[in-house]
Amino acid sequence: MKEKRNEQELLYEGVKIVTKKLSPNTDYSFNELKNMAIKMPQFNNMDLSINEQREVGRRYSSWVKNVLKQTLL
């Protein structure tokens, strides 16, 4: 189980990196970001279940909301 958590953390950080590289005012979905992140070399042969991907999506959504809140204040 610990290995899967490590893979979840890698995907979460990878999606955040991809987000930061996007130009401002770009529309995207989490699935698009996930697919871009998985193409990164450190994700070679990564296999996450749908539930684990959902968990990463939930964490990412929370991160985006907090970043927007801080930016607007």
Residue-range domain boundaries for the chain: 2-72
pTM: 0.81
C-alpha torsion sign, points 34, 35, 38, 39: negative
Q: Decide: 20 and 68 in contact? Cβ < 8 Å.
A: no
Local confidence pLDDT in tens for the 73 residues of the chain: 556 688 899 999 999 999 989 888 889 999 999 999 988 887 777 788 999 999 999 999 999 999 877 765 5
Buried b (16+ CB within 10 A) or exposed e, 9-26: ebbbebbbebbeeeeeee
